[in-house]
Structure 1
Amino acid sequence: MLNGPLPLDLSELEGRRFVCQDPCKLCCLCQPECLPGEVEFFKRNYPNRLVLKKEPHKHYALSLKKGQGSCSFLQGGRCEVYPHRPHFCRQFPFHIHVGSRAQVELDLSCRGVWLDQGEDAMAEGLRLVQENELEIRRTLKESVPVYREFTLNCLEAGLDVDVGKVRSQVTARLDELTDLRLIASLLEESVEEDELSIPDLKAKPVLDGKTMNELSHSALEMVTDSMAADELFQAPVYCAPDGSWNLFRVLGQKVEWHVMDAEGDVRKKGELPIKDIKLQQPQGRDRQVLRDYLKILNNRDSFMGYAFYLMDDYDYEDPWPNVYGGVLSTSVLDLLWRTSLLAAFFPGMKDGERMREGIIFYDMDRLDAPTLGAFI
């Protein structure tokens, strides 16, 4: 059992199950950092499979095939060192975010969390917390003062950062926030100087051509940041139902589609003009799936921490509701544009399936965004 009162939230795991699904192996594309004890094992047994990384800090990681593909230990769809795989491999698809508390978040890019099969996520999350309790407590000693300093900076700037209040206001309007008319208003009001009032926000009366063009432009700005990669292997990866690893890159006025195999070789499959990727208003089951995802995002400390990170980056000039409203609206647009991209390259998806696949494409990048606090 946990020793003493540890500030902990496991709510994202409620009612969830997960299973490792063949032939996915998405997690084997994530180059894992090795902890000190793991470094010693691999230095002793596989010295040529360790690489020294300098970003975001100096650390050892396992080598990738051809420097850019899957983990070099992935052979025939199986891990060659499974009993000795690093901490971060064992933990996937769970992420422990440590800020003002510890919160276990679930990576929804993992296809195995959507099947309602396998292990109970709550039980597994609690087990991971118990195994990592000392590291969580050590990290809390570092992260809590950072949050305290952030709060003081906000007070000095005259900003009232009431997280619970904003979360409650967003929760009360989750159904409406799946409507692009309200997203358009939220995006527009978030950049105004006056403080945004989420409860009083009015949706646009209609989704006319001008509004859709503005939303599409904002969405494209968001995805270009992540998809206009200089190096192809840095482009976002979508793991399709057949297990293929699909990379999409914005290049000029087109979107390129590439597929990477287990050996790290990449071949181009096609391309489409950007203008053919049409932002769509979610309907039916897609809209419900989006609502459920927004509920998860709104409760994630890492998502809130991203808004905090931006406030600090903006030198505490903007009101807190405006920053959070901007983060929420642009995140929705990023997700919807990716969903439209997948629908264009993989036509024939069913209602509800489209949004689920969009989230599978998006969530890993969402969890990889900067945040106040740390993942362990």
Structure 2
Amino acid sequence: MASQQAERRGWFSHGLAALAISALGLAVAGSVSLTTSAEPMAAPAPAATTVQTDPAGAVLAGGTAPGSTAGGGTVPGTPAAQPSETLPTDPALVAFTRPLSVVDTTRSVRLQAAVVKERAAQRSEELAKSAEAATQAARDAGGAARSQELATNQRATREAAVKIAQERLAEAVRKRVAAETERQGIQTTDPVTTTTGGTDLSVSVAAGGGSASPVPGAVIGAHFGQYGSWSRYHTGLDFRASYGTPIKAVADGVVVYAGNSGDWAGNHIAIRHAGALTSMSSHMSSMAVSAGQSVKAGQTIGYVGSTGRSFGPHLHFELYPAGVRYGDVYRAVNPVPWLRTIGVDVN
């Protein structure tokens, strides 16, 4: 008997537990169903107002507007009001409702217009820069062409002026040489009085006696009257020769000067020849004769060097006509005709 009662109490306890669990499951299911099926509720429509009119058709206070009924309906033929999206009034449902979206179309239009205007301004700036670059390039090209044209014209003018000056000088030299040659004639003796170192030397040079090349080969490196960076006007002949080459007297004569006066000629020797002509050999490294000494054609008078204003070893040879003191360089004459007359071949 006692066991039966205990068994009944166990079944009763299990039943109560099952009922409690069932009740809890129904509560959870109800809450889930309420959550998933929640929908926004439309706000109640405002009460309609009755519009009364007088016999003339004017609307009186308290009446219902035309096209509406007292129950909130609409008069046939009147367009129905469009539903509007509203937020729920129940606070418990606000969290489950999508908020109304607000789109400012006016702002989008203004932004697009501003972007278009900015891009147009950038394009205009780029075009302006390109035009300025093209204009500057054209100016530079024009300026360069103009400068080149001016430089060409100036160079042509300078070259023409130099050519004219050279032609005039050459013509003047030719006339002077011709006049002096005609004046000199042929003389057999020439009494000479000159001063060297404060001593008067009276010499008489007889014609004849042969001739000799001043240096072996007598190759001319620079001619009389020639122009160059080394000389504005060459007053003699430059014979090519290496340092130390012996220098010979080209004809018989008397040494009227042997020394170094400290000027462009360096160590130099002047010899008076027949016909009152005077030859001068310059830039010597050393001298082998002295003033007042008589020399014969072919005799060594010194050695090739580069003293004075010289740009390398060579023999500078000058010729002065009668009545002209040696060293007066711009009165010197071309030695080639005289050398050939006495039998010296120059190349």
Comparing both chains, which one has the higher relative contact order based on Cα–Cα distances under 8 Å and sequence gaps of 6 or more?
1
Between Structure 1 and Structure 2, which shows a larger proportion of helix residues?
A: 1
TM-score bucket of the superposed structures, by smaller chain? under 0.3
Say which one has the larger Rg: 2
Between Structure 1 and Structure 2, which shows a larger proportion of strand residues?
A: 2
